[in-house]
Amino acid sequence: MKTPIPHNIVRSVIEDINLPNFGKATIREIVTITNKIEKLTGERYIRMEMGVPGLEASAVGVKAEIAALQAGVASKYPSLDGQHNLKQEASRFIRAFIDTDIPAACCIPVVGSMQGTYASYLTALQSNSSKDTVLFIDPGFPVQKQQLVVMGYKIESFDAFEYRGERLIKKIESFLKNGNIAAISYSNPNNPSWICLQESELEGIGRLATEYDCIVVEDLAYFGMDFRRDLSQPFKAPFQVSVSQYTDNYIMLISSSKAFSYAGQRIGIAAISEELYYRYYGDLEARYTVGEFGNVFVNRVLYSLSAGTSHSAQYALAAMFKAASDGDFNFLGEVSEYARRAEKVKEVFLKHGFEIVYLDDLGQPIGDGFYFTIRYPGMTGAALMEELMYYGISSISLETTGSLQEGLRICTSFIQHDQYDDLEYRLACFAENHGN
């Protein structure tokens, strides 16, 4: 069977890597395999495996960061709880785009959302020593589970595919009833499926978090990127939906990586509800001699992890938040390019017999954005991922994300304008070879 990329070369590279189970290959392993094949064949892959921004870093941020460096911030340690102006602007941004009030004091810069989730899980788990588990609403971002493995805590999870609306709330409650869940974790919009939890679902999660006294870690890595609604107008509805409207037990993580294409500088904000920030926990005091949640988060946990967040990047993020809240910088206008790419890429996949796996949010078709999920009738996710390598398309299997569905995550961020014809040709070959 003829394939767009020579079969023997792809086969030998996959065999050389010697993975026990190709379907469980991590993103980084797929990157290595794909780079190697590209080098050997001179063929450019359509890279859909890695969730990295495919756009230039926001110019507003770059300019402010350069100015901060020139002003000499590089030689000075940043304060642990963040630069004053950034805290003010983060609080204002949250009011402008989520319609939630969080005092500046409770908005803490972190070294990417990654550090934010690590610190959030750890502080949540340590605040109540009778709870040792984080509940993940899957599918999800595998590294967050790895963070718990690193810390030595426990994980519960379930695939939201079958559980939306009231069923989702009942499912979460079935875990909370066991009394061991310190935190509930999800991303919204969701990596990898791009499902978006709806207000009614967040309302239910918030209610349960209050009732069972557990902390919601709400990962807004794809802030505002549910492009079905225009969330780009500051201080005007509609807003980014958030559990912060429904409980006081939450930490929101706002990343600069995707919304501002600022992944390289590793900065985000952990926005802790005021009630939680100042809440006293005896178990924290016993361990740290201070008992306030926010105090421990900043002065014990973040101090131990990185002693603050890059000083110059804080100036960048402050400038981007300010320009967005002032209405001078439509950051969602810039990243809506991902939706345009998704629309085109989806169309080509669907035309050639593929199907979308995670299809809708309570009956409303999912939007076009950073990711979507596909399957091909009769093929497992692992087999499909490997098979597409022979057609010059790299992706990751849903298996690695906690999904129980057979399919792939397709990331739209990296496809280049001149690759749509290649995608069309390669998928047409695939369909022909697979009897479609």
Ligand X SMILES: Cc1ncc(COP(=O)(O)O)c(C=O)c1O
For residues 49 and 412, is the Cβ–Cβ distance under 8 A? no
Report, in Å, the least distance between residue 253 CB and ligand X.
7
Binding string, 74-93, against ligand X, x = CB under 6 A? --------------------
Q: Residue 308 and residue 294: Cα distance in Å, rounded?
A: 14
Q: Which of 4, 23, 51, 139 binds ligand X (CB under 6 A)?
A: 51
**Token pair 């669907």 in the structure block, residue:** 350
Q: Is 193 helix (H, G, I), strand (E, B) or coil?
A: coil
For residues 185 and 219, is the Cβ–Cβ distance under 8 A? yes
Q: Biggest alpha carbon distance in the chain? A: 68
Q: By C-beta, is 219 or 399 nearer to ligand X?
A: 219
Residue nearest to ligand X (CB): 112
Q: Is 139 in the site for ligand X (CB under 6 A)?
A: no
Q: By C-beta, is 10 or 58 nearer to ligand X?
A: 58
Q: By C-beta, is 205 or 284 nearer to ligand X?
A: 205
Q: Residue 6 and residue 270: Cα distance in Å, rounded?
A: 47
For residues 73 and 235, is the Cβ–Cβ distance under 8 A? no
Residues near 417 by Cβ (< 8 Å), separated by ≥ 6?
none
Q: Which of 40, 263, 301, 305 binds ligand X (CB under 6 A)?
A: 263
Q: Is 112 in the site for ligand X (CB under 6 A)?
A: yes
Range list of H helices, 179-335: 199-211, 274-277, 282-288, 293-296, 303-305, 311-325, 331-335
In this structure, are strands 107-110 and 268-272 parallel, antiparallel, or unpaired? antiparallel
Report, in Å, the least distance between residue 204 CB and ligand X.
21
Could you tell me which of 372, 432, 433 has the C-alpha nearest to residue 407? 372
Q: What is the signed CA dihedral for 128, 133, 137, 139, rounded to 10 degrees?
A: 140
Could you tell me which of 52, 51, 50, 47 has the C-alpha nearest to residue 423? 47
Report, in Å, the least distance between residue 257 CB and ligand X.
3
Q: Which of 81, 138, 201, 219 binds ligand X (CB under 6 A)?
A: 219
Query: With CB under 6 A as the contact rule, which of the stretches 2-10, 107-115, 203-211, 308-316 interacts with ligand X?
Result: 107-115
Q: By C-beta, is 91 or 113 nearer to ligand X?
A: 113
Give the footprint of ligand X on residues 221-260 (CB under 6 A): 221, 255, 257
Report, in Å, the least distance between residue 268 CB and ligand X.
4
Q: By C-beta, is 116 or 381 nearer to ligand X?
A: 116
H-helix or E-strand spanning residue 251: strand 250-255
Q: Which of 191, 273, 309, 413 binds ligand X (CB under 6 A)?
A: 191
Q: Residue 191 and residue 340: Cα distance in Å, rounded?
A: 18
Q: Which of 114, 217, 259, 385 binds ligand X (CB under 6 A)?
A: 114
Q: By C-beta, is 113 or 430 nearer to ligand X?
A: 113
Could you tell me which of 176, 169, 252, 163 has the C-alpha nearest to residue 203? 169
Q: Is 400 in the site for ligand X (CB under 6 A)?
A: no
Report, in Å, the least distance between residue 117 CB and ligand X.
7
Q: Is 141 in the site for ligand X (CB under 6 A)?
A: yes
Report, in Å, the least distance between residue 269 CB and ligand X.
10
Q: By C-beta, is 108 or 429 nearer to ligand X?
A: 108
Q: Is 185 in the site for ligand X (CB under 6 A)?
A: no
Residues in touch with ligand X (CB under 6 A): 51, 112-114, 141, 187, 191, 219, 221, 255, 257, 263, 268
